[in-house]
């Protein structure tokens, strides 16, 4: 399909006869197509009128999973908010059209954004979001991911009492650890005290939590936010083994969020809850193992080589790591052995029961790499697959995050490299914006059936990015409404 028009404007959103005179489209509308449905949807509706060319541009340039916002001129504007909501409730209208939003059109007409949620799960508003623990490395990463997010609007930053009351730029000082500059829109935001739960919760729809505190203090703080009817999406480990708290990798166990109603009953909340992401080291090897579970994984040995950003460090702040490897990371081996079983567990009643197997054993080392956790994996099966079957399973795997087309989800979750010297952190950690998993060197082993190596970005897929992806899943499934 080719679309051509005779003006050079990049904004194909103006409507009505004037736009039709300025632009010409020779493309034919296929009967029964989405374009025809969109056109027919607006026949006789005064609030939106687009030429056929504009329908095609919008439907083919904006991913279908995102809201498609159609802009009208003055004479076609909404007659009333009530009329708009009535039109939005019609099935034919819901199939293609949403309301007007600056994010997608670049122009705002002054009419309010419809806050209905369509039955297909498309988010119809931006959620106001806070970051608790905003001054640390993971908190900074959250900020870089949220400033231009299509569904989430960063409105609140919270940290410790020593940072409270300061401009964010002043609170961070010289400790900005991201490779990109601090976003201008957060520099002048006043940091709130994270312990003032009601104050923070009153300003947001939900929070991301990335605080650096003792585990029991984190548990209490996150439950306080949840009981204040403020959902918490946590990067912390404190609640990972709370039986009714879902620990979710959206490609692997998205169904575990269905435990949230049981958690709300325990907490006595109508809206508040806690959901967590798994440990950063798991994000390299568990996704690679997951598509192979049908062959009956019996045992797995993994050695992880973990970047210094996982400890919140840079080479400037961690000089001891230069020309060195540290063969111990407190608590990492236990997490690496136990958390996969909760990810592969099942909901039974008001709790998530971990899977009975396979057995895991892990060794975790800190290595002189800025970002990117690598795992060397050895695995055995009840029914040993061929190498071709393993490669096909990886290539064909699509999880719920891909099926739902969540904004942060990689198009291809698992990437296999045929080169013997790949993947490498420096070359491959930013694959698909740091949200994909890289795999290489699949080959038979003398003690196990197979061995391979895998890599993920520990502060994107493994930390803030994974939490944002989890929040997108929760939004899509109505848990944040």
Just list the catalytic residues: 280, 373
Q: How many CB atoms lie within 10 A of CB 430?
A: 15
Cross-strand pairs, 207: 130, 232
For residue 190, the 8-state DSSP code is B
Torsion-angle region of residue 104: left (phi > 0), alpha (psi -120 to 50) or beta? alpha
CB contact at 8 A, 207 and 233: yes
Q: How far is CA 140 from CA 134, 177, 187, 278, 436, in A?
A: 6, 8, 12, 19, 21
Collapsing DSSP to helix, strand or coil, 447 comes out as coil
Q: Which residues of 297-329 are buried (b: 16+ CB within 10 A; e: fewer)?
A: beebbbbbbbbbbbbebbeeebeebeeeebeeb
Q: How far apart are CA 272 and CA 207, in angstroms?
A: 11
Distance CA 231, CA 201 (A): 9
Phi/psi of residue 264, nearest 5 degrees: -60, -40
CA 448, CA 292: separation in Å to the nearest integer?
A: 15
Minimal CA–CA distance to 209: which of 228, 227, 230?
A: 230
Tokens representing 345 are: 């567990």
DSSP letter string, 6-23: SS--S-TT--SHHHHHH-
Query: What is the rounded CA–CA span in Å between residue 279 and residue 287?
Result: 13
User: Residue 70 has which token pair?
Assistant: 């159609």
- Buried b / exposed e over 102-122, threshold 16 CB at 10 Å, is ebbbeeebeeebbeeebeeeb
Contact 164, 170 (CB under 8 A): no
Q: Kindly give, in sequence order, each residue whose CB lies less than 8 Å from that of residue 254, ignoring residues fewer than 6 positions away.
A: 248, 399, 400, 401, 473
Helix (H) or strand (E) holding 55: helix 52-61
Residue 30, class by beta-carbon neighbours within 10 Å (0-12 exposed, 13-18 middle, 19+ buried)?
exposed
Secondary structure element (H or E) that encloses residue 450, with its range:
strand 450-456
């Amino acid at each position: 399909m080719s679309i051509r028009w005779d003006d050079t404007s990049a904004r194909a959103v103006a409507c009505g006869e004037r736009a039709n005179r300025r632009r010409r489209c020779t493309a034919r509308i296929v009967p029964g197509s989405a374009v025809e449905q969109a056109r027919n949807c607006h026949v006789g509706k005064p609030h939106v009128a687009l030429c056929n060319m504009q329908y095609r541009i919008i439907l083919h340039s904006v991913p279908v999973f995102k809201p498609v916002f159609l802009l009208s001129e003055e004479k076609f504007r909404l007659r009333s908010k009530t009329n708009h909501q009535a039109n939005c409730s019609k099935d034919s209208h819901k199939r293609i059209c949403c309301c007007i939003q600056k994010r997608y059109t670049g122009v705002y007409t002054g009419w309010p954004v419809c806050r209905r949620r369509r039955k297909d799960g498309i988010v119809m508003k931006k959620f106001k979001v806070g970051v608790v623990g905003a001054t640390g490395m993971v908190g900074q990463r959250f900020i870089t991911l949220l400033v231009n997010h299509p569904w989430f609007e960063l409105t609140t930053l919270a940290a410790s009492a020593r940072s409270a009351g300061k401009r964010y730029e002043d609170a961070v000082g010289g400790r900005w650890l991201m490779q990109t500059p601090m976003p201008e829109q957060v520099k002048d935001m006043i940091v709130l005290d994270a312990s003032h739960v009601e104050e923070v919760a009153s300003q947001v729809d939900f929070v991301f939590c990335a605080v650096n505190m003792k585990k029991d203090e984190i548990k209490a703080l996150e439950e306080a936010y949840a009981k204040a009817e403020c959902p918490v999406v946590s990067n912390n480990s404190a609640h990972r083994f709370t039986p009714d708290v879902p620990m979710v990798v959206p490609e692997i166990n998205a169904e575990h969020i269905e435990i949230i109603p049981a958690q709300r009953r325990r907490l006595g909340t109508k809206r508040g809850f806690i959901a967590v992401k798994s440990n950063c080291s798991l994000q390299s090897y568990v996704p690679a193992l997951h598509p192979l579970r049908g062959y009956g994984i019996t045992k797995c040995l993994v050695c992880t080589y973990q970047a210094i950003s996982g400890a919140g460090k840079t080479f400037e702040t961690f000089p001891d790591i230069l020309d060195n490897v540290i063969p111990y990371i407190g608590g990492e081996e236990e997490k690496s052995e136990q958390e996969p079983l909760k990810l592969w567990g099942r909901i039974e009643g008001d709790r998530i029961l971990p899977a009975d197997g396979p057995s895991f054993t892990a060794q975790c080392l800190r290595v002189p790499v800025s970002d990117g956790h690598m795992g060397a994996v050895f695995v055995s099966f009840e029914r040993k697959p061929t190498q071709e079957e393993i490669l096909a399973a990886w290539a064909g795997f699509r999880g719920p995050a891909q099926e739902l087309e969540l904004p942060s989800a990689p198009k291809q979750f698992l990437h296999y490299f045929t080169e013997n010297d790949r993947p490498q952190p420096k070359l491959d950690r930013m694959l698909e914006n740091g949200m994909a998993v890289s795999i290489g060197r699949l080959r038979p082993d003398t003690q196990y059936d197979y061995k391979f190596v895998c890599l993920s970005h520990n502060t994107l897929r493994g930390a803030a990015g994974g939490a944002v992806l989890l929040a997108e899943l929760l939004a899509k499934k109505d848990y944040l409404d």
